[in-house]
């Protein structure tokens, strides 16, 4: 009997911890949809490297920071939403947002040849593979 009660209490405790974790992540906030991982990104291979596309609507390029170290890419920044002090809100779904996302790349990149461009809320980053990280053909004798 004690074992059954103990298992039930453990399950309830785990459920409560899950709910507490979700509350801390703003899943139950005032938003009409969950934010998930931000910013959403797509990676694809192109020529001798990768291209990353990140969706950053409403974020100014001056408010974005990019850092690369070995095979890690970090995108951080903030989106500021300001309608002035005298505005009264009927509905407020767009909020200020601070983000910081690190992505592991499949190889080390040449940090001297990274190109980034922002256009219509899309950030495109071209990442070339580091020369010493490129596969080499081996002659068989």
- What gap in Å lies between CA 123 and CA 39, rounded to an integer? 10
State the pLDDT confidence band at 27, using cuts at 50, 70 and 90. very low
Domain count for the chain, please give it: 2
- What gap in Å lies between CA 134 and CA 67, rounded to an integer? 21
In whole angstroms, what separates CA 107 from the centre of its chain?
19
Domain hosting 63: range is 37-81+95-133
Q: Are residues 4 and 28 in the same domain?
A: yes
- What gap in Å lies between CA 52 and CA 39, rounded to an integer? 11
Q: Are residues 109 and 77 in the same domain?
A: yes
Q: Are residues 14 and 43 in the same domain?
A: no
Q: Tell me the per-residue pLDDT of 88-138, one tens digit each, with 9 for 90 and over.
A: 877 777 788 899 999 999 989 998 999 999 999 999 999 998 888 788 889
Size of the chain, expressed as the number of residues it contains: 141
Q: Does any domain span residue 140? A: no
**CATH number of residue 115's parent domain:** 2.60.40.790
Q: Are residues 72 and 114 in the same domain?
A: yes
Q: Are residues 8 and 71 in the same domain?
A: no
Q: Are residues 20 and 9 in the same domain?
A: yes
Which one-letter DSSP state was computed for residue 39? Answer: S
State the pLDDT confidence band at 53, using cuts at 50, 70 and 90. very high
Q: Does any domain span residue 138? A: no
pTM above 0.85, yes or no: no
């Amino acid at each position: 009997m004690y074992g059954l009660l103990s298992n039930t209490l453990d399950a309830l405790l785990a459920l409560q911890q899950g709910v507490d974790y979700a509350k801390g992540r703003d899943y139950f906030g005032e938003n009409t949809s969950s934010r998930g991982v931000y910013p959403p990104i797509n990676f694809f291979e192109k020529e001798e490297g990768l291209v990353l596309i990140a969706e950053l609507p409403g974020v100014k390029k001056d408010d974005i920071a990019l850092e690369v170290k070995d095979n890690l890419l970090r995108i951080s920044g903030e989106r500021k939403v300001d309608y002035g002090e005298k505005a009264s809100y009927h509905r407020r779904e767009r909020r200020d947002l601070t983000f910081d996302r690190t992505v592991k790349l499949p190889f080390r990149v040449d940090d001297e040849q990274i190109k980034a461009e922002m256009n219509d809320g899309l950030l495109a980053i071209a990442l070339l593979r580091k020369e010493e990280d490129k596969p080499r053909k081996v002659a068989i004798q």
